[in-house]
């Protein structure tokens, strides 16, 4: 089923993205997006008694288990549960949205072939579902930090910046992967392996300071380029470090946290994050263009 | 005069049929050129749908009906040509499309309505009417995976007709559902017609087309084959079908020294349209125009049962001992059938003009005319029927 209003002309020309106009179309279709997210959540938790509580249990168990483990075994990182979760939740949003986003158009082939609607909604819904989990779990983490450590300015101001960057990057990559995956199904498998490597390249379970020290060791350069700068080219690294700084920095203010987090100033990190945000926005425009251009033929290719 | 609701201008659609579609990078890299064949689902199709009119789109399977509808709905992109469409459009391409089996009927109504462009509040307002129309009050909280196909159809149609579309596209969805519900859907479509909405209906049910459409379009192998009043297009469709069964079939032939100018099938009430009551008299009036002097005209007719394609009745002037004098200009031949005793249903009439002596065909129109026979329901009288009763040891 389909709905459009006004005069529409359909030609053989492949469509070109006009961001403003397309945004208005998407805004007009927000009801579909909301309904699809609602549907996904509903299906995910259907026939389960606790429903969304399962999602909340996840970080709670993490907090409990790692508090216990660090007490008994000890790790190099003090307050490890907060360090781990602040980065892991962001990573979970990223990888869950990408994994299901890449599949979103394929999985909804029936919809795409039978119903006319802005196809961007499909990867956006995948991001939306991951976002709901992220928000719920972040609420748990926030409450935990607030209860045991209290919140701390100005580090906390990094959180919205890191969050915005994460969201833009996730949406951009989801759009691109979902569009390309329609034609080349390998992309989905490639993504799964890629995400595994990507996870370990990003400082989530190990101290980011460790990575910085390794990168800056020796000459600290590869072909004249500082290795640490190369390390920061992974856009998820500044994002995760932003979350670290915002939440874990609260627990361990900068001077104490030095051995764990990047040894950089707050403005420096904010600057890198802002650059990443700009790059992500450029990527988003590009990925959206690719998606929009291809989406006219989805119904045919599926 | 307002512009047409839908303008289809030289639309073609080509599908690439891959013997083995390279859906992986490896396949893409290994086979430099993929073996693809072109399939033209639509070829240079042009027509308009006037605002407020109802158009029936007919054709055999694979003739391109659904492809065309998808191009209008914006699901497929034409390979060339332009589709211009005005007004809020709702397309029912497959019922249950957009339904999710795990969700309840209620949730699916909201999901589906949003695909049709309704906001949550608008859906709230229409919800009662939708459920009422679908006659599914007791099932709205059940997951639709437990619905029968008939129930899905009802719910899908109910949502589509409550979104207030200006243009409604319907693809072969009325065929499902029981007769009572079909009648209800047709009634709803009539309401839409009265309200001045534009409807495009794809169907195999030719009777529905004749009943409710203003105009019809027939597609044949992706090309526009016929366009015009539903009766003419339906007849054209039948000709193509007959031509497929019998290769020698031609709808019209002859050398036209004498021509069939007009044929009327006159009912007992003197009118030449409407149903024929079973057992009523019937008159086939053939107006003949001789373009030159014709010395030995013979006229005949044949009536075929539309359901079985078997001839049930025929007559020929010469056989009945009726001779037609040599003439030039016009003559009228009346075939009076004293009563038509055959079963209710549709009957096709073939009219022929030929030479009495040589059998040479002047003009033949094969199965060109149609009438429908209905039975009047009557109260069954008591009659004496013997009944024997036996009792045995078991």
Structural domain contains residue B121 = yes
Structural domain contains residue A116 = yes
Check whether residue B122 and residue B262 sit in a common domain: no
Structural domain contains residue B287 = yes
Structurally, chain B folds into a number of domains equal to: 2
Check whether residue B37 and residue B176 sit in a common domain: yes
CATH number at residue B280: 2.70.50.60
Structural domain contains residue B394 = no
Q: Is the dihedral of CA B16, B21, B22, B24 positive or negative?
A: positive
Which is nearest to B134 in space by CA: B108, B147, B110, B152? B152
Q: Could you tell me what percent of chain B has a pLDDT over 90?
A: 34
Residue A75 pLDDT grade (very low, low, confident, very high; cuts 50, 70, 90): low
Tens-place pLDDT, residues B349-377: 999 999 999 989 999 998 888 898 988 77
Structural domain contains residue B195 = yes
Tens-place pLDDT, residues B298-356: 999 999 988 788 889 999 999 988 888 999 999 999 999 999 999 888 899 999 999 99
pLDDT averaged over every residue in chain A: 85
Structurally, chain A folds into a number of domains equal to: 1
- Provide the pLDDT for residue A1: 43
Structural domain contains residue A111 = yes
- CA B219, CA A175: separation in Å to the nearest integer? 38
Check whether residue B301 and residue B265 sit in a common domain: yes
Cβ-count burial B251-285 (b if 16+ within 10 Å, e if not): beebebbbbbeebebbbeeeeeeeebbbebebebe
**Test mutation, B77, B78, B84, chain A, max A CBs within 10 A:** B77
Check whether residue B180 and residue B76 sit in a common domain: yes
Tell the residue number behind the tokens 């075939």, with chain if given: B335
Check whether residue B68 and residue B174 sit in a common domain: yes
Check whether residue B278 and residue B224 sit in a common domain: no
Q: Does B71 touch chain A (CB under 8 A)?
A: yes
Structural domain contains residue A273 = yes
Tens-place pLDDT, residues A226-277: 888 888 889 999 999 999 988 887 666 655 555 778 878 888 889 999 999 9
Q: Do A184 and B23 touch (CB under 8 A)?
A: yes
DSSP letters for B80-112:
EEEEEEES-EEEESSTTTT--TTSBHHHHHHHH
- Provide the pLDDT for residue B116: 83
Stronger pLDDT, A7 or A37, i.e. the higher one: A37
Structural domain contains residue A10 = no
- CA B308, CA A120: separation in Å to the nearest integer? 52
Structural domain contains residue A11 = no
The answer to whether the beta carbons of residues B373 and B343 sit under 8 Å apart is: yes
- CA A246, CA A86: separation in Å to the nearest integer? 9
Q: Which of A2, A11, A46 sits opposite B90 (nearest CB)?
A: A2
The answer to whether the beta carbons of residues A270 and A121 sit under 8 Å apart is: no
Give the C-alpha distances (Å, rounded to integers) separating B318 from A64, B271, B349: 105, 28, 19
Q: Which domain holds residue B228?
A: 6-20+33-242
Looking at B221, B242, B263, which one is the last position of a domain?
A: B242
Q: How many CB atoms lie within 10 A of CB A66?
A: 19
Q: What's the whole-model pTM score?
A: 0.78
Structure tokens at B233: 């297009």
- Provide the pLDDT for residue B12: 92
- Provide the pLDDT for residue A256: 59
Structural domain contains residue B382 = no
Tens-place pLDDT, residues B143-152: 888 888 788 8
Structural domain contains residue A206 = yes
Strands B198-202 and B167-171: parallel
Tell the residue number behind the tokens 């995956």, with chain if given: A181
Distance from CA of B188 to the nearest CA of A (A): 18
Residues of A in contact with B97 (CB under 8 A): 1, 110-111, 114-115
- Provide the pLDDT for residue B227: 92
Is the pLDDT reported for residue B212 higher than 80? yes
- Provide the pLDDT for residue A189: 87
The mean-pLDDT minimum among A41-50, A183-192, B121-130, B284-293 falls in A41-50
Check whether residue B223 and residue B296 sit in a common domain: no
What backbone torsions phi and psi does residue B342 show, to the nearest 5 degrees?
Answer: -80, 165
Check whether residue B214 and residue B107 sit in a common domain: yes
Q: Which domain holds residue A263?
A: 24-301
Q: Do A12 and B73 touch (CB under 8 A)?
A: no
Structural domain contains residue A60 = yes
Check whether residue B283 and residue B351 sit in a common domain: yes
- Provide the pLDDT for residue B337: 93
H-run or E-run covering A186: helix A186-201
**What letter would DSSP give residue A245?**
I
Q: Do A8 and B74 touch (CB under 8 A)?
A: yes
Q: Do A6 and B163 touch (CB under 8 A)?
A: no
- CA B52, CA B193: separation in Å to the nearest integer? 7
Distance from CA of B177 to the nearest CA of A (A): 19
CATH number at residue B11: 3.40.50.300
Q: Which of B28, B75, B117 sits opposite A299 (nearest CB)?
A: B75
Check whether residue B132 and residue B280 sit in a common domain: no
Check whether residue B204 and residue B129 sit in a common domain: yes
The answer to whether the beta carbons of residues B198 and B7 sit under 8 Å apart is: no
DSSP letters for A204-234:
SSS-HHHHHHHHHSTT-EETTEEHHHHHTTS
- CA A177, CA A185: separation in Å to the nearest integer? 10
Structural domain contains residue B296 = yes
To the nearest 10 degrees (0 to 180), the angle between helices A80-107 and A158-183 is 30
Residues of B in contact with A115 (CB under 8 A): 75, 91, 93, 97-98, 115
**Test mutation, B70, B86, B117, chain A, max A CBs within 10 A:** B117
Complex ipTM: 0.79
Check whether residue B208 and residue B294 sit in a common domain: no
Tens-place pLDDT, residues B28-83: 666 555 567 788 899 999 999 999 999 999 988 888 898 999 999 888 889 999 99
């Amino acid at each position: 089923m389909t709905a459009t209003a006004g005069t529409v002309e359909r030609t053989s020309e492949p469509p070109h993205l006009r961001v403003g106009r397309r945004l208005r179309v998407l805004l007009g279709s927000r009801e579909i997006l909301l309904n699809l997210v609602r549907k996904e959540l509903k299906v995910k938790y259907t026939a389960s008694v606790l429903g969304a509580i399962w999602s909340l249990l996840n970080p709670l168990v993490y907090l409990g288990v790692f508090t216990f483990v660090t007490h008994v075994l000890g790790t190099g990182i003090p307050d490890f549960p907060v360090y781990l979760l602040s980065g892991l939740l962001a990573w979970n949003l990223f990888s869950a949205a990408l994994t299901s986003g890449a599949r979103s158009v394929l999985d909804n082939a029936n919809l795409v072939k039978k119903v006319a609607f802005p196809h961007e909604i499909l990867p956006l819904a995948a991001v939306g579902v991951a976002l709901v989990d992220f928000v719920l779990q972040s609420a748990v983490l926030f409450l935990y930090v607030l209860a045991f450590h209290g919140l701390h300015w100005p580090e906390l101001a990094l959180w919205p910046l890191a969050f915005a960057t994460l969201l833009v990057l996730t949406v951009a990559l989801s759009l691109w992967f979902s569009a390309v995956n329609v034609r080349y199904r390998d992309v989905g498998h490639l993504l799964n392996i890629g995400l595994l490597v990507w996870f370990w390249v990003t400082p989530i379970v190990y101290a980011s300071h460790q990575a910085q020290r390794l990168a800056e060791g020796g000459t600290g350069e590869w072909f004249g380029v500082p290795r640490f700068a190369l390390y920061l080219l992974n856009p998820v690294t500044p994002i995760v470090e932003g979350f670290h700084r915002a939440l874990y920095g609260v627990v361990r203010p900068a001077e104490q946290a030095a051995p764990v987090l990047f040894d950089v100033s707050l403005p420096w990190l904010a600057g890198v994050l802002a650059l990443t945000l700009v790059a992500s926005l450029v990527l988003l425009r590009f990925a959206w263009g690719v998606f929009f251009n291809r989406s006219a033929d989805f119904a045919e290719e599926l | 005069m307002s512009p047409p609701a839908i303008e289809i201008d030289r639309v073609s659609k080509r599908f690439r049929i891959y013997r083995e579609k390279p859906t992986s990078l490896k396949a893409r890299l290994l086979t430099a050129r993929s073996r693809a064949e072109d399939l033209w689902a639509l070829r240079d199709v042009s027509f308009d749908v006037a605002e407020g009119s109802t158009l029936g789109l007919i054709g055999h399977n694979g003739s391109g009906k659904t492809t065309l509808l998808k191009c209008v709905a914006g699901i497929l992109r034409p390979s060339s040509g332009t589709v211009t469409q005005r007004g809020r459009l709702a397309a029912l391409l497959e019922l249950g499309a957009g339904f999710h089996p795990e969700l309840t009927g209620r949730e699916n109504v909201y999901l589906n309505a949003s695909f049709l462009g309704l906001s949550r509040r608008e859906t709230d307002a229409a919800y009662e009417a939708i459920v009422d129309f679908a006659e599914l009050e007791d099932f709205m909280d059940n997951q639709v995976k437990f619905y029968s196909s008939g129930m899905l159809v009802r719910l899908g149609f109910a949502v589509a007709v409550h979104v207030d579309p200006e243009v409604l596209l319907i693809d072969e969805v009325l065929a499902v559902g029981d007769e009572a519900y079909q009648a209800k859907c047709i009634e709803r479509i009539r309401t839409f017609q009265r309200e001045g909405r534009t409807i495009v209906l794809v169907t195999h049910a030719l009777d529905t087309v004749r009943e409710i459409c203003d105009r019809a379009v027939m597609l044949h192998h992706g090309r526009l084959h016929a366009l015009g009043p539903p009766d003419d297009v339906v007849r054209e469709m039948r000709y193509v079908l007959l031509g497929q069964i019998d290769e020698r079939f031609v709808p019209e032939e002859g050398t036209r020294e004498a021509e069939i100018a007009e044929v009327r099938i006159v009912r007992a009430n003197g009118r030449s349209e409407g149903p024929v009551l079973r057992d009523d008299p019937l008159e086939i009036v053939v107006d003949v125009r001789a373009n030159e002097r014709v010395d030995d005209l013979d006229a005949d007719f044949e009536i075929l049962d539309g359901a079985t394609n078997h001839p049930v009745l025929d007559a020929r002037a010469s056989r009945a001992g009726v001779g037609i004098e040599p003439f030039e200009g016009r003559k009228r031949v009346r075939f009076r059938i004293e009563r038509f005793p055959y079963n209710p249903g549709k009957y096709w009439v073939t009219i022929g003009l030929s030479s009495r002596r040589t059998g040479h065909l002047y003009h033949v129109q094969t199965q060109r005319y149609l009438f429908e026979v209905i039975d009047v329901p009557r109260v069954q009288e008591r009659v004496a029927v013997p009944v024997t009763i036996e009792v045995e040891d078991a």
